Structures are given as structure tokens and as C-alpha cells.
């Protein structure tokens, strides 16, 4: 897809942060944008900014952990704009709590938004995308912590590793169709993810007390990028049909270290097999 003008895009978690940056980049490129967020006022504010660039926009309160909400979003966008050409399953939350200190409600909330939210988006939008026959692109937001462990929690990394595996497999399943996929793996970005608790549902509220948060790892990353920069990087990647969308080249040593360990431990099996025949 080399042209966004006149196309329709849906961005979840677009009331702030990366989602807002993606929505604005799409608007600048001339796309119609459906802005979805669990905060209705924030979604409408992003939609207002989209309209300021001359693009058409709609906003809708959407809890991506609810399949019913995401299906309603798909139907509303189809009714307003017709076929969807770009889907960005971007909504995400984070809890600064180690997995060993997490409550079951912590796990339910993060998995519900970060992983089920992406699954719901794929379930709700892919059938109509395939039926349209038009070139389409889906971008699922993971994280660099879907490629190496999070400094924050096992919960966050578990969901982001899941998003990457999900997207890689869907790419295989959709090969040969007009639906292309990418997975966004941002490093540091200026966003409100550290304020995620503001949108935590009452039935999954955090438990009081618990040990003080201590990061489980330390990564020397570059200064955070702006959400607007992420949006521009993403559009560039879609145009080039790149699968992995990175935002910080300084993470390369961490990726190399992880893959070096994978290959080393794989070689251990070869050495074990050789010893069995000695």
C-alpha cells in the first residue's frame, strides 16, 4: 500500500501515546481515521486533531478486552466509512509489579487488554478485510519486551511475546491474501502507559500493599521518542511492507545476545547427540 489518501484506518488505544501519534500520522497522509479508546473524551480529542488536518474522523469508546465492544467498533466503522484498509491493534496497559508479586487480577487485566485486545481486533476485522479483496494492512503493537524480558514484570513480557507470536503466525496463515501484517516493537516512547491504572476496571482493581517495585532488569536505551515519530515510522514501514517495526537501533546488542544464547543452546543438542554415538 503506497497511498493512504481516501483509505480508512482504525486505531485502538488512540486517545493518547502511540495510538494518538499513529492516528495523526494517518490523518496527515489523508486517511479517514476511526479513533478507539477506553476513555471516550480522549478518543474524541484525538479525533478533533485528526479533523484539523482535513481528514474525516469518528471516535468511539472501546474496551478492547471486550469482544462485544470490538465487534461494535467494526460494525460502526463499516457503517460510517465502508471497508477498513489499515487496522492498528495498539491499546495496551502496564503494571509495575513483578510476576512473583502479581495478583490474579493483575494477570487478568494485562492479558485481557494486551493480548486478548489484539485477538479481538483480528477476529472482528479480518473477515471483512478478506471479503473486500482490497489491499489491507494490520499492525499489532507489541514491544521490545516481546523480544527480550521486561524490566517491569513477567506479566507485561508474557503478553507482548504473545502478540509477536500471534502476528508471526497470522502472517503465515494470510500469506497469498491481500491482508499484510506488521508487528510494532517500540522501545522507549513518551506516553501515558505508566498511568495505566487510571483505566483499570473496578472488578479487577489492584490489591493494596505489596512489596516496593524493584525492576527485574536494566536496559540502557536511547531517550524516548515522541508518539508522532512512532506514527511516521509506522507509516513508512507499512509502505515498505516491513514485518518488524523497530523504533530504536540501540537495542541491537540485546537482540543479538538473545539469539546467540538460542543458537548456543541449540548446538548443545548436537553435541549431546554426538556423544551418544561415541
Active site residue 156: yes
**What kind and span of H or E run contains 70?**
helix 67-81
Which of the residues 4, 67, 156, 244 is marked catalytic?
156
Q: Please check whether residue 146 is in contact with residue 163, taking contact to mean a CB–CB distance below 8 angstroms.
A: yes
Smallest CA-to-CA distance from 72 within 24, 134, 10, 131 is with 10
Helix axes 40-52, 17-28, angle to 10 degrees: 30
| CA dihedral angle for residue 63, residue 65, residue 69, residue 75, rounded to 10 degrees | 110
CA distance 213 to 211: 6
- Cell reading at 155: 506479566
Residue whose cell numbers read 479508546: 37
CA distance 150 to 18: 19
- Residues with a catalytic annotation lie at 156
Amino acid at each position: 500500500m503506497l497511498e493512504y489518501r481516501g483509505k480508512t484506518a482504525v486505531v485502538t488505544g488512540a486517545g493518547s501515546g502511540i495510538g494518538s501519534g499513529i492516528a495523526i500520522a494517518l490523518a496527515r497522509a489523508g486517511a479517514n481515521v476511526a479513533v478507539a479508546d477506553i476513555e471516550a473524551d480522549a478518543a474524541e480529542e484525538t479525533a478533533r486533531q485528526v479533523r484539523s488536518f482535513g481528514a474525516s474522523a469518528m471516535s468511539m469508546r472501546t474496551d478492547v478486552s471486550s469482544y462485544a465492544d470490538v465487534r461494535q467498533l467494526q460494525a460502526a466503522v463499516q457503517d460510517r466509512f465502508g471497508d477498513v484498509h489499515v487496522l492498528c491493534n495498539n491499546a495496551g496497559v502496564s503494571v509495575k509489579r513483578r510476576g512473583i508479586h502479581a495478583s490474579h487480577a493483575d494477570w487478568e487485566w494485562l492479558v485481557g487488554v494486551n493480548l486478548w485486545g489484539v485477538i479481538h481486533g483480528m477476529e472482528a476485522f479480518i473477515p471483512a478485510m478478506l471479503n473486500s479483496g482490497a489491499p489491507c494492512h494490520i499492525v499489532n503493537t507489541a514491544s521490545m519486551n516481546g523480544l527480550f524480558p521486561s524490566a517491569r514484570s513477567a506479566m507485561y513480557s508474557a503478553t507482548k511475546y504473545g502478540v509477536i507470536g500471534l502476528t508471526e503466525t497470522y502472517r503465515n496463515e494470510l500469506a497469498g491474501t491481500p491482508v499484510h501484517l506488521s508487528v510494532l516493537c517500540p522501545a522507549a516512547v513518551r506516553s501515558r502507559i505508566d498511568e495505566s491504572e487510571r483505566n483499570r476496571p473496578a472488578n479487577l482493581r489492584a490489591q493494596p500493599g505489596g512489596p516496593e517495585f524493584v525492576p527485574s532488569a536494566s536496559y540502557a536505551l536511547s531517550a524516548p521518542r515522541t508518539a508522532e515519530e512512532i506514527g511516521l515510522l509506522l507509516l513508512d514501514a507499512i509502505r515498505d511492507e516491513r514485518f518488524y517495526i523497530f523504533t530504536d537501533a540501540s537495542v541491537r546488542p540485546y537482540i543479538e545476545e538473545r539469539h546467540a544464547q538460542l543458537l548456543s543452546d541449540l548446538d548443545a543438542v548436537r553435541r549431546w547427540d554426538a556423544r551418544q554415538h561415541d
